[in-house]
Structure 1
Amino acid sequence: MLTGDQYRASLDDGRATFFEGERVTDLPGHPVLGTVVDNVADGYDWLALKAVDGVSPVSGVPTTPQELREKVELVHTAGMMAHVNYTSLMTLTTAASRLAGHGAEYAERIQAFVTDAQDRDIRITQCITDAKGDRSLSPVKQSDPDAYVRVVDRQADGIVIRGAKLHITAASFGHELMTIPTKAMKPGEEDYAVAALIPVNAPGVKIVNTTYAPRHDDLRIFPMSGQEHFPEGFVIFDDVFVPHERVFLDGETGSAAVFAHSLGLWERLGGLSAMADGADVLVGFAQLVAEANGLERISHVREKISEMIIHATVVRACLEAALSHAETGVFGAVFPNELYTNAGKYTGATEYHKLVRHLHDIAGAAVVTAPSMADLENPEVGPLVRKYMATKPEIDGEYRTRLFHAIRDLTADAYGGWKLVTNIQAGGGLYAQRIVTRKHYDLDGAKQAALQTAGLAGTSTTDAGPSRGI
């Protein structure tokens, strides 16, 4: 296993990473991005304490539902980079399982890479979303053929790819870029049906970083985002050579969607896990601020918090169902249940705004107008700010002010905006979850149950009348 310091040293490999118009040559020493490096390094050291016989606890593929549950809980606690890496490895494992029957060579390459990645204890990030150009046009009809990542040259020992992948969390802070098709490809789009593992420091790879990290001297008013933030990478492949052993798909349009579907499953499971915990936190903030404002017994406030509790419970139940009904693949690996994973992720994302709306309604405008911590410390106005921010003897002004700062940082500032968008988009947009949920739902069983209820059991839906919308 790598130590935190070894991880820091591994980033000094010539990678071309940029932030706010400048190339970053020292990631650990960067005033904004350095915090990310520290977080990932701390995660390495934390996992090392939980190692068994020198093996990282996030290595290995779960083979029972209980192992899957333990992995999900561990990865969720270990931080963003551990989650992204585990999701990448499980995506590859899932894809290998699904390619085994008609892409045996690719499946073997994938398994070899996964083993090597676990041995090296590296971190992998996922590159799936293309620039896409005109969304109404397919890849081959774009005015710029590079709107989707594609193969521009095939050589005796490998391929050359060109294009860009967007919204890649922590791309600059891993070691490998898992680059896969963003969607299914059709005949004639062979050059776009490409999947490969590419080192972050490979010649031609350039990463532009954006981040919600606060640019403020006093991080006390950013209690969450000031301590942990992960940039999104705009990853550019400027004619990057990839040797054959790192190519996991090249031209097989019929298999292009395998990787996206595999990633979607694990991304949505990770999102569902985060939403389950996150919903509990929002409920907690709502109750705390209601008590701080003296509103905890007001009926409409209690009703709002009850609605939030029900949502949090339903999302948690979907997570439990996804893990309890886990399924086993052809290589013995266990995967979360597709139906409950997608239904839970969809529910969590579509209802998130309601939780935030109730929280803001209960908290009041001070969520965005509360004075800073420095104001509380000012000798002239500080005592007055404390006086008027207090509500009762047991709720002093500083406590209530800090509560508002936490709510603002989590739900009403740059980090809050990032969470709002990524809850919807992570793992594919809401439409993708609707499609997968419908695919795995027993619709025929539901129809038969309805026929039974109507006293029409034994009557086909054709005999009963037109089956609309099915």
Structure 2
Amino acid sequence: MTLRTAEAYLRGLRDGRVVYFRGERVPDVTAHPFLRLGAEHTALDFHLAEDAAYRDLVVVEDPDARRPISRYFLIPRNAGDLLARHRLIETVTRAGQSFVPLVKEIGTDALFALMIVGAHLERAGASYLERVRRFYAHCRDGDLTMAGAQTDVKGDRTLRPHQQPNPDAYVHVVEERGDGVVVRGAKAHTTNAVFADEIIVLPTRAMGPEDRAFAVAFAVPANARGLRFIASPRGFSARSVFDNPLSAPRKTVESLTIFDDVFVPWERVFLNGEWQAAGALAKIFVEFHRFTAISYKPPLLELLLGAAALMAEYNGIAAAGHVRDKLAQLVMYLETVRGLTKAAAQGCRLREGIAVPDVALTNAAKYYFAWHYHEMVRAVQDIAGGLVVTAPMEEDWQNPETRRDMERFFTGSGGVSAEDRLRAANLVRDLTASDLGGYLEVLAIHAEGSLETQKLTVLMDTDLEPYKAYAKRVAGIAAEAGTPARVPHG
């Protein structure tokens, strides 16, 4: 097959999938007055593949298929491949005005993780790898979109999956048949799943022997029988592009994804009961996924920096020392996240022939982004001023009587028009003080794993013994036999 057009992608979403929004069944997500904005945004990947200005980045010649494919499907074999993937995700997000489509990024993250774990399980006697390869080829050759469904609803977090009073708190196998398995449960926070062709399900945590039924990974089409989505309405209050230049014309849709006795044929089952592999699969996936995350963050940080600099100019305070200090912090914040992302690609390690971004650097970038995000939002709000939340709205601008007053009193420094100043203030409000702004602040902390998970992951991946031996050597403490002689370095 060839690369799909945006029109073909959108047409494929009209497949009878079961989607609910604000308590009502949505027969067609591409025709719904609000959800269609999300569908049109996720079609961006396909539009850019047809755009000569982007095609060389978005489309690549596949060495195995020997034909053009979406670069998302290119299996990374070295640092160069990861850097190109980083540029792809960052560029597409910038083209989406800081909104990442997330309908190929997460899915291919999951596929790469499944390939690595599948190869490991193959040596242990399980036969999942060939299934993963066939499913990967199915998605690649069909130019399909995929959502990742990993986070279980979890119930009582002090209890393991098999101890839950409600067993459906974790997706699990309820029946094995000759032709496949039947699964039940729900996954939370599935981004843009309502706009995906395929749903790839992964474990969310390490499992024990009693959790065998919960150690499952599989893929189903979005219109599978028994599968339904409850789309979150958060962020859908914006209507005016003047008032909400980011969130009015485009949407990211989260959903509760429910598996109500969904049948999965064996060829789409990639883990079934191998509880020892559940934690490894969850961890390897998030290393790819966090690399995706830190690749799509820079356009958002560029927008925060640009909006702050614009408001400083329009307010006539660009030369003030405290403003320049905040702008410098915003620049360093942006470039630190971007620099760590590139370093993570350069420091990759091969696992089963697939390049995995450096774990410590990937998590450091994600942690640094999340830890400082609210601080940077505060800096932007401080520069922009109270007009961000007190300015009149578009209806007032459209009324000739009130518009005259607004033009009179909101003119900015150096003759900047009232309209330009209001539009800049509205951009800051949408970024930092709207439904979208609140979503972005929570997203910074919890998306792709919380702050604590990044610290735990770094410690799990780092051998502290060489550093302790180095400290002993400098302190003059006798080294024990067998201790490492050198500290690892980049």
Normalised-by-shorter TM-score class: over 0.9
Determine the structure 1 residue equivalent to 2:217.
195
Deviates more, 1:162-171 or 1:333-342: 333-342
Partners of 2:85 and 2:368 in 1: how far apart?
A: 23
Deviates more, 1:318-327 or 1:392-401: 392-401
Determine the structure 2 residue equivalent to 1:91.
113
Please state whether the residue corresponding to 2:187 is helix, strand or coil.
strand
2:107–2:200 Cα contact (<8 Å) kept? no
Determine the structure 1 residue equivalent to 2:84.
70
TM (normalized to structure 2)? 0.89
Deviates more, 1:40-49 or 1:4-13: 40-49
Deviates more, 1:193-202 or 1:300-309: 300-309
Determine the structure 2 residue equivalent to 1:326.
348
1:263–1:427 Cα contact (<8 Å) kept? no
- 1:173-217: CA deviations, max 9, x gaps? 101111111101101111111111111111100101014344344
Deviation at 1:390, TM superposition (A): 1.6
Deviation at 1:462, TM superposition (A): 13
Partners of 2:304 and 2:443 in 1: how far apart?
A: 17
Deviation at 1:307, TM superposition (A): 2.4
Is 1:401 matched with 2:422? yes
- 1:393-435: CA deviations, max 9, x gaps? 3322111111111111111111111111122212221111111
Which of 12, 15, 21 is equivalent to 2:23? Answer: 21
- The structure 1 segments of at least 4 consecutive aligned residues displaced by more than 6 Å after TM superposition are none
2:170–2:186 Cα contact (<8 Å) kept? yes
Please state whether the residue corresponding to 1:334 is helix, strand or coil.
strand
Determine the structure 2 residue equivalent to 1:295.
317
Identity of aligned residues (%): 34
Deviation at 1:103, TM superposition (A): 5.4
1:147–1:164 Cα contact (<8 Å) kept? yes
Determine the structure 1 residue equivalent to 2:378.
357
Deviation at 1:289, TM superposition (A): 1.3
After TM superposition, list the pairs within 5 Å mapping 1:323-402 onto structure 2: 323-330=345-352, 332-402=353-423
Deviates more, 1:202-211 or 1:286-295: 286-295
1:153–1:161 Cα contact (<8 Å) kept? yes
Root-mean-square deviation (CA, aligned residues, Å) is 2.1
Partners of 1:217 and 1:428 in 2: how far apart?
A: 31
1:171–1:233 Cα contact (<8 Å) kept? yes
Determine the structure 2 residue equivalent to 1:60.
74
TM (normalized to structure 1)? 0.93
Please state whether the residue corresponding to 1:219 is helix, strand or coil.
coil
Determine the structure 2 residue equivalent to 1:5.
7
Deviates more, 1:186-195 or 1:377-386: 377-386
Letter in 2 for 1:144: N
Letter in 2 for 1:402: R
Is 1:313 matched with 2:315? no
Deviation at 1:94, TM superposition (A): 3.6
Please state whether the residue corresponding to 2:368 is helix, strand or coil.
helix
After TM superposition, list the pairs within 5 Å mapping 1:215-226 onto structure 2: 215-226=237-248
Is 1:428 matched with 2:449? yes
- 1:68-102: CA deviations, max 9, x gaps? 21122113333412323333333333433443432
Is 1:142 matched with 2:164? yes
Q: Which sections of structure 1, spanning at least 5 residues, go unmatched?
A: 464-470
Deviation at 1:45, TM superposition (A): 2.8
2:473–2:479 Cα contact (<8 Å) kept? no
Deviates more, 1:184-193 or 1:82-91: 82-91
Partners of 2:314 and 2:120 in 1: how far apart?
A: 53
CA gap of 1:45–1:284, structure 2 versus 1, over 3 A, is: closer
Determine the structure 2 residue equivalent to 1:466.
none
Determine the structure 2 residue equivalent to 1:176.
198
Partners of 2:116 and 2:436 in 1: how far apart?
A: 32
Determine the structure 2 residue equivalent to 1:416.
437
Please state whether the residue corresponding to 1:328 is helix, strand or coil.
strand
Determine the structure 1 residue equivalent to 2:479.
459
Partners of 1:461 and 1:368 in 2: how far apart?
A: 65
Which of 165, 179, 182 is equivalent to 1:160? Answer: 182
CA gap of 1:287–1:45, structure 2 versus 1, over 3 A, is: closer
- 1:243-299: CA deviations, max 9, x gaps? 111111111110111221122112211111222332232222222211221112222
CA gap of 1:216–1:225, structure 2 versus 1, over 3 A, is: closer
